[in-house]
Structure formats: structure tokens, C-alpha cells
């Protein structure tokens, strides 16, 4: 067996939760390595919907171990809520099922206030963050003034660190017109939450090393998507972590040599929440149709997602920066009923040039006009199909054209929200 990274190949919300859930049946261990409660996975198992923001969705499989790595920024309020929810549904009886790295940084109320204050001040230039305090928490980490999970278990250490941090944080909140936080209130709540989470806090890196030594298959679960990566995304309209596959090693505390395979997840079309360029965006009735049929509203914020055609330039770029050797296309069923389907194959830039690879210049990207290839659509509902050969010929042709354009094999397609509504062509855990 092997170790596999799953990454979003677009701007997040590609349906990774469902794919992770499916791939978990082949894995022993699931690890999150970046992001925080800005992510949101909606999982439908046996008609029951569960939304998780922080805990890996692998937790819904009995017997699997889940880890939240050092690279994640953990909101202890959100984590406690999810732990309570899972315990309430009898999905987590043993605390060992979920381990949170003691080195993971923590999101506290001042991070959220700074995030909200900044967005409110930024007007049209705002990023459109999820408001979960993600950016300010990562800033504190890099500025070496962050609070980590381990600190929540040590009252004296936490008091000292918060005392040192709050003056400046409060000055910043005040300058943004927000309400200051109070040391004793933040401290006592953080300690209370720390106590509740304590049974789950541990050395993820060491435990993962043991799991890997024992030959257990590990699934590294990326959050958000490649185009939201702090280095490789559509900066500054990005999240504050590295979402690409390379960060799986750093954010989990393992070496890159343990990773065998990288699977990118893409919708059969494109969506984005928040601001920033989206070359294939459809602002017409067709975009509205994709939003309605695909239920394209954010799992974390409920915001309507911007929708458009699939963009082969985006996927080729994602294939490159992640080293993708497999692709999963989700929500293929949403395209049913259209007379024709389109894929962007190049962009026309304002300088008259046509490019076939994703431009790194955000100015160019903002004004790029997609050039489409049009393929025949299909009318048949796909939700009950379980075999590749059962798919309508034009659906297969669409998928095969994506494979050709991106240069990566499509190893599975998803035809509905339920776990079993998936057609798997290749198991990424079998390698060699």
C-alpha cells in the first residue's frame, strides 16, 4: 500500500470531502496538513448529512485514525463543537481516533476580530475571507508570536504569551474600529477549551512515523485548492497557507519521500467563492443554472459560489505545481441536460497574444478572455450509473478530452453526492 495526497485543483470546494471519504476506505490514517475551519466538507452517508470544518472527514469511517497536523491553524471553539457533534452521533468513542498536533497554531478571538475588521475596512479590495481568523493566525505563526495547542494545556505559559501578545493585538483591533478583547476572558476560555481537547493533543509527527513504519496507508487531505495557495495561487486573493501537495510533508511532520501519489480533485466545471480573477466565470443564466443544479453555496459561509466552465489552463497548472499523477472529476451529473459543454483551452490576452498556459501575472489573468472548445452535451441522468462503460458516449468523450488537455489520467468520476455515486477507474493506493 502507499501514501496519497489529495489536493484541490481549482479554487477549493471541488468535492474533496466526498473523495477523501471514498479513498479513506483504502487508507488506515487520514491527515489534515494546512488551513483551518475555513474549509468545509459536506458529507452525505446513508442520506445523513454531516458538515465538518476541521476534523478530517475520515472520522466517519469506524477504525480509521485521524490527525490534524502542525500545519493546520486550529480554532479550539470549532474543534470542540465538532468533537461534541461526533461524540453525540457515536462516531468517536475513543479519543485516539483523533490526534491534534501539539505544535498546531491556535486561532483565538482576536484573530477573528482582526480578520473581520480588515475585511470591513477594505471595501472593494477585500479578499472575501471566510472571517475565521485564518490569515491573522498564520501571520502570528510567521511573526513568532503565535499560540500553539501545547500552550492551551499550560496555564502559566498561556498567560505569559497572551499578556505579551494582547497589547499589540488590541491596538490593531482598535485601529480597525473593532472591540478589544480582554485578557482574563480569552485566557479562561482558552484553558477551558484546552482541557476539553487535551485527550486529543499529541505528537502527530512521531505517531505518523510509527504508522508509516508499520506499513499503514496514509491519506493526506488538502483543504482549499491550488489557486488559493499563498505562493502559487491568484495572489493576493488566496488563503494564507500552502495548499499544494508539497506542503503535505511540512504540515504533517513527515518527509516528502513517504508520499507516493498526488491526486487532484476538480469539479467538471469551475467555481470560486470570494473575490479575485475567475476567467471562465459565467454571469448569465447558465452560471445561475450551474449554481442551482450544483447547489453551489459555501459549506462554511453559505455564500453563493461564482460558477463557470471548466478551465484546462487551471488544471494543467495544478498538475504542474502539485506533481499530480491522478485526477478525479466531481459533479459530472450537474452538466446533464446541456446541449453542449465547453472547456477553456487558451486565453486571449489584452496584448493580442493567445496563451495555452496559466499566466502568472495577476493583471493579465484578470483581463484574460477564455477561448473555448465546445463538445456535445448529454441528456441522460448519471446518478445511478456505476460503471465507466455505462456513461453516455459524450460524457466519456468529455472526460477523455480533459485527460488529453491536462495530461493526467482521470482515475474516478463522481455522479452524485452519495458515497456510492462514484465510478472508480483506478485505486491510487496501489502503486508500483
Distance between CA 47 and CA 64 in Å, rounded? 21
Region binding ligand IMP by CB under 6 A among candidate stretches 37-45, 194-202, 206-214, 422-430 = 37-45
Q: How far is the CB of 180 from ligand IMP (least distance, A)?
A: 22
Nearer to ligand IMP, 66 or 107 (CB): 107
Residues of span 206-225 touching ligand IMP by CB under 6 A: 223-224
Q: Quick check: 40 binds ligand IMP (CB under 6 A)? A: yes
Q: How far is the CB of 34 from ligand IMP (least distance, A)?
A: 10
Contact with ligand IMP (CB under 6 A): which of 240, 270, 395, 414? 240
Q: Which stretch binds ligand IMP (CB under 6 A): 32-40, 162-170, 192-200, 211-219?
A: 32-40
- Residue 233 and residue 346: Cα distance in Å, rounded? 18
DSSP string for residues in 397-432: HHHHHHHHHHTS-EEEEE-SSBTT-EEES--TT---
Q: Burial code of 177-186, b = ≥16 C-beta within 10 A, e = fewer?
A: ebeebeeeeb
Q: Is 16 in the site for ligand IMP (CB under 6 A)?
A: no
Q: Which CB, 137 or 382, lies closer to ligand IMP?
A: 137
For residue 226, which of 313, 344, 306, 349 has the smallest C-alpha distance?
Answer: 313
How many alpha carbons fall within 13 Å on the CB side of residue 367?
9
The closest of 100, 247, 117 to 170, measured between CA atoms, is: 117
How far apart, in whole angstroms, are the C-alpha atoms of residue 226 and residue 128?
17
- Measured CA to CA, the distance from residue 151 to residue 133 in angstroms comes to 18
Q: Which three cell numbers stand for residue 406?
A: 491536462
- Residue from 92, 107, 204, 273 touching ligand IMP (CB under 6 A): that is 273
Site for ligand IMP contains 39 (CB under 6 A): yes
User: Judged by CB under 6 A, which stretch of 24-32, 59-67, 235-243, 309-317 contacts ligand IMP?
Assistant: 235-243
Residue nearest to ligand IMP (CB): 274
Binding segment (CB under 6 A) for ligand IMP, from list 124-132, 194-202, 245-253, 357-365: 124-132
Which residues in 150-169 are b (16+ Cβ under 10 Å) and which e?
bbbbeeeebbebbeebbeeb
Taking CB under 6 A as the binding criterion, the range among 93-101, 237-245, 321-329, 399-407 that sits at the site for ligand IMP is 237-245
Return the bridge partners of 355, or none.
347
Is residue 228 close enough to count as binding ligand IMP by CB under 6 A? yes
Q: Is 129 one of the binding residues for ligand IMP (CB under 6 A)?
A: yes
Helix (H, G, I), strand (E, B) or coil at 99: strand
The catalytic position among 21, 28, 41, 339 is 41
Q: Decide: is 277 part of the binding site for ligand IMP (CB under 6 A).
A: no
Should residue 32 be labelled a site residue for ligand IMP when binding is judged by CB under 6 A?
no
Closest separation in Å from C-beta 274 to ligand IMP: 2
Give the three-class secondary structure for 28: coil
Q: Give catalytic status of residue 13 as yes or no.
A: yes
CB 129 to ligand IMP: min, Å: 4
CB atoms within 10 A of CB 174: 13
Q: Would residue 260 show up in a list of annotated catalytic residues for this protein? A: no
309 within 8 A of 270, measured Cβ to Cβ: yes
Interaction of residue 169 with ligand IMP, rule CB under 6 A:
no
Phi/psi of residue 319, each to 5°? -60, -40
Q: How far apart are CA 317 and CA 123, in angstroms?
A: 30
Name the DSSP class of 374: E
Q: By C-alpha distance, which of 69, 68, 63, 78 is closest to 24?
A: 63
In angstroms, what is the minimal distance from the CB of 130 to ligand IMP?
A: 3
Query: Is omega for the bond preceding 197 within 30 degrees of 0, making it cis?
Result: no
Task: Give whichever of 11 and 67 is closer to ligand IMP, judged by the CB atom.
Answer: 11
Minimum CB distance to ligand IMP, residue 61 (Å): 21
Among 71, 135, 194, 222, binds ligand IMP (CB under 6 A): 135
Minimal distance, residue 41 CB to ligand IMP, in Å: 9
At residue 175, φ and ψ (nearest 5 deg) are -65, -20
Q: How far is CA 45 from the centre of its chain?
A: 20
Which CB sits closer to ligand IMP, 38 or 101? Answer: 38
136 touches ligand IMP by CB under 6 A: no
One symbol per residue from 76 to 115: x for binding ligand IMP (CB under 6 A), - otherwise; what is it?
----------------------------------------
| Active site residues per annotation | 13, 41
Residues that bind ligand IMP (CB under 6 A): 12-13, 38-40, 127-130, 132, 134-135, 223-224, 228, 237, 239-240, 273-274
Amino acid at each position: 500500500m502507499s501514501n496519497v495526497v489529495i489536493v484541490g485543483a481549482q479554487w477549493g470546494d471541488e468535492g474533496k470531502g466526498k473523495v477523501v471519504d471514498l479513498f479513506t476506505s483504502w487508507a488506515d490514517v487520514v491527515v489534515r496538513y494546512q488551513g483551518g475551519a475555513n474549509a468545509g466538507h459536506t458529507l452525505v452517508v446513508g442520506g445523513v448529512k454531516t458538515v465538518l470544518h476541521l476534523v478530517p472527514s475520515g472520522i466517519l469511517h469506524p477504525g480509521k485514525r485521524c490527525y490534524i497536523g502542525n500545519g493546520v491553524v486550529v480554532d479550539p471553539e470549532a474543534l470542540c463543537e465538532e468533537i461534541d457533534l461526533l461524540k453525540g452521533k457515536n462516531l468517536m468513542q475513543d479519543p485516539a481516533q483523533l490526534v491534534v498536533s501539539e505544535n498546531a497554531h491556535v486561532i483565538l478571538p482576536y484573530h477573528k476580530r482582526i480578520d473581520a475588521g480588515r475585511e470591513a475596512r477594505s471595501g472593494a479590495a477585500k479578499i472575501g475571507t471566510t472571517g475565521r481568523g485564518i490569515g491573522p493566525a498564520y501571520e502570528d505563526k510567521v511573526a513568532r508570536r503565535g499560540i500553539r495547542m501545547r500552550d492551551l494545556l499550560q496555564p502559566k505559559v498561556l498567560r505569559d504569551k497572551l499578556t505579551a501578545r494582547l497589547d499589540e493585538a488590541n491596538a490593531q483591533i482598535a485601529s480597525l474600529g473593532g472591540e478589544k478583547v480582554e485578557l482574563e476572558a480569552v485566557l479562561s476560555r482558552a484553558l477551558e477549551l484546552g482541557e476539553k481537547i487535551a485527550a486529543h493533543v499529541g505528537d502527530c509527527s512521531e505517531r505518523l512515523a510509527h504508522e508509516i513504519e508499520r506499513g499503514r496507508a496514509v491519506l493526506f487531505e488538502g483543504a482549499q485548492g491550488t489557486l488559493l495557495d499563498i505562493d502559487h495561487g491568484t495572489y493576493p486573493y488566496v488563503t494564507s497557507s500552502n495548499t499544494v501537495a508539497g506542503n503535505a510533508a511540512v504540515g504533517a511532520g513527515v518527509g516528502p519521500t513517504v508520499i507516493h501519489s498526488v491526486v487532484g480533485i476538480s469539479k467538471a466545471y469551475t467555481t470560486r467563492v470570494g473575490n479575485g480573477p475567475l476567467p471562465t466565470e459565467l454571469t448569465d443564466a447558465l452560471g445561475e443554472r450551474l449554481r442551482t443544479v450544483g447547489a453551489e453555496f459555501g459549506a462554511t459561509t453559505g455564500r453563493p459560489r461564482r460558477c463557470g466552465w471548466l478551465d484546462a489552463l487551471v488544471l494543467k497548472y495544478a498538475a504542474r505545481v502539485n506533481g499530480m499523477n491522478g485526477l478525479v472529476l466531481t459533479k459530472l451529473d450537474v452538466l446533464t441536460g446541456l446541449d453542449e459543454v465547453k472547456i477553456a483551452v487558451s486565453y486571449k490576452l489584452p496584448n493580442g497574444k493567445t496563451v495555452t498556459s496559466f499566466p502568472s501575472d495577476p493583471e493579465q489573468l484578470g483581463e484574460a478572455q477564455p477561448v473555448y472548445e465546445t463538445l456535445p452535451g448529454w441528456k441522460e441522468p448519471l446518478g445511478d450509473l456505476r460503471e465507466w462503460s455505462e456513461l453516455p458516449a459524450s460524457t466519456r468523450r468529455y472526460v477523455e478530452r480533459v485527460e488529453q488537455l491536462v495530461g493526467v489520467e482521470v482515475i474516478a468520476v463522481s455522479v452524485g453526492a452519495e458515497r456510492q455515486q462514484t465510478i472508480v477507474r483506478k485505486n491510487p493506493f496501489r502503486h508500483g
